[in-house]
């Protein structure tokens, strides 16, 4: 197995907060940070293949322009990878499909515009699966290149895990932030539904699509998300990174528990004992949520990918063709009924979130599966994504094979700050 060389003391190994602080202090320049990240790309990209577009001169131009200005914004000088379903005016956005090859958006997505305004360097476009569904891209897991990095935000998670950038953004409609972050051993944070605007992001399932972030620490993930959020939510996230009080935590197996591997079951049962976590029962009313999510997602995929289906269905993967066919066959009444259940799931969890700040649960059934023909099982993310609850995965455990095993925390809708506080405390308590 080819192993990635260590980053050592290179600037590419710095986190988001540290880069911003050093740029503000004048001890490093944005160009020096970007050059270090480019050197890291040269050293490891042939093993990981996280990028679908990376223009080195464009990176240098952005960084040099920042160095000519006073330090501005919360992300001044920070290189950020952008999933290739998020529009960028100066780079292609091809959505992981040959049907969109050469596509050049005329404007940035709102989240990209906010990154630029905060002083970030838009480093390049990271690999996504086909139209952000299940057919894998070329990316490999940085911990073991023969294993999947997960999907659909595979390139974003892998680029951060491999040390090529300190942060990246992606999206989640089922498990596309939490799963690859867990497989690749980084922090993945999916804010509550609607907290980050989606204008300029590929429209897959509007009832479920959510933007998320990848970083190497909770503080870095919160800072990146704070820049992207609407309204006062960003300020609440930033304030949540400074608390130290122990949160109220409990754990839950959920209906996906039978899919967990032996490593996962043992690791989480031991984790619960270590932190003396009480176990919560999943509300019986939410048991059909996995079916509701699939019904809603596939019907909306069929609607939003109608053009691709009409003009190029033979160029779509078998898995996406099957999803669209099922979505087309779903009655409108069934879709409306599934959408109405989002409120039911949130109401069922409300009493539990009155007892705890966050629920601890597996992020994935196990470590990243071997092989590159699948992105792994998103079942441990489905319930929370369907309900639009904020979720974060932390690289706190590992399997018997040494690969990362993510610990997921979930909080009440609208309480992202409590989630960040709980995640920060738990991350520090295990270090």
Q: Are 421 and 357 within 8 A, CB to CB?
A: yes
Question: Which member of 12, 34, 152, 153 is catalytic?
Answer: 152
Q: Are 370 and 146 within 8 A, CB to CB?
A: yes
Q: CB neighbours of 59 closer than 8 A, spacing ≥ 6? A: 34, 37, 38, 79, 121, 123, 124
Q: Are 248 and 231 within 8 A, CB to CB?
A: no
Instruction: Tell me the CA distances in angstroms from 334 to 136, 205, 296, 321, 397, one per residue in order.
Output: 29, 15, 8, 20, 39
User: How many helices and strands, by DSSP H and E, does the chain display?
Assistant: 15, 11
Running DSSP on this structure, what letter comes out for residue 201? B
26 is written with which tokens? 């004048």
The sheet carrying 391-398 orders its strands as: 51-53, 121-126, 79-83, 167-172, 210-215, 187-190, 391-398, 404-410, 358-362, 249-251, 278-279
152 classed as catalytic = yes
Report helix, strand or coil for 269: helix
User: From CA 270, how far away is CA 260, in angstroms rounded?
Assistant: 14
286 HSE (CA, 13 A, CB side)? 21
Question: Which member of 176, 190, 205, 217 is catalytic?
Answer: 176
In the block, which residue shows the tokens 């079916």? 291
Q: Are 176 and 152 within 8 A, CB to CB?
A: yes
Question: Which member of 83, 153, 190, 205 is catalytic?
Answer: 83
176 classed as catalytic = yes
Catalytic residues, which ones? 83, 152, 176
């Amino acid at each position: 197995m080819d192993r990635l060389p260590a980053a050592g003391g290179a600037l590419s190994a710095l986190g988001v907060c540290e880069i911003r602080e050093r740029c503000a202090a004048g001890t490093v320049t944005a160009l020096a940070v970007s050059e270090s990240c480019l050197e890291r790309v040269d050293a490891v990209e042939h093993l990981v293949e996280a990028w679908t577009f990376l223009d080195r001169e464009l990176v240098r131009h952005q960084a040099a322009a920042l160095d000519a200005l006073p330090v501005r914004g919360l992300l001044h000088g920070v290189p950020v990878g952008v999933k290739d379903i998020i529009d960028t005016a100066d780079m292609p956005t091809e959505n992981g499909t040959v049907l969109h090859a050469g596509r050049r958006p005329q404007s940035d997505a709102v989240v990209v515009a906010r990154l630029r305004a905060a002083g970030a360097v838009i480093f390049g476009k990271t690999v996504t699966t086909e139209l952000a569904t299940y057919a894998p891209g070329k990316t490999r897991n940085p911990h073991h290149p023969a294993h999947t990095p997960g999907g659909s935000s595979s390139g974003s998670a892998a680029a951060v895990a491999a040390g090529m950038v300190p942060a990246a953004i992606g999206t989640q409609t089922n498990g596309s932030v939490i799963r690859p972050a867990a497989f690749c051993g980084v922090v993945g944070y999916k804010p509550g539904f609607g907290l980050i605007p989606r204008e300029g992001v590929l429209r897959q399932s509007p009832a479920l699509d959510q933007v998320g972030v990848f970083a190497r620490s909770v503080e870095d993930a919160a800072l990146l998300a704070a820049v992207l959020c609407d309204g006062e939510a960003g300020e609440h996230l930033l304030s949540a990174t400074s608390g130290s009080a122990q949160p109220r935590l409990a754990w839950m197996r959920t209906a996906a528990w039978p899919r967990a591997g032996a490593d996962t079951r043992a690791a989480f049962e031991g984790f619960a004992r270590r932190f003396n976590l009480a176990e919560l029962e999943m509300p019986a009313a939410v048991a059909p949520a996995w079916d509701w999510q699939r019904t809603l997602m596939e019907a909306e995929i069929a609607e939003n990918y109608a053009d691709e289906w009409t003009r190029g269905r033979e160029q779509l993967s078998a898995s996406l063709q099957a999803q669209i066919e099922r979505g087309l066959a779903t009655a409108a009444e069934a879709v409306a009924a599934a959408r109405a259940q989002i409120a039911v799931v949130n109401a069922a969890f409300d009493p539990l979130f009155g007892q705890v700040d966050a629920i601890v649960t597996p992020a994935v059934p196990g470590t990243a599966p071997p092989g590159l023909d699948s992105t792994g099982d998103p079942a441990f993310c489905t319930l929370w994504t369907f309900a639009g609850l904020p979720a974060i995965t932390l690289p706190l455990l590992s399997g018997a094979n040494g690969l990362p095993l993510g610990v997921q925390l979930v909080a009440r809708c609208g309480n992202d700050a409590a989630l960040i506080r709980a995640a920060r405390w738990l991350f520090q308590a295990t270090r």
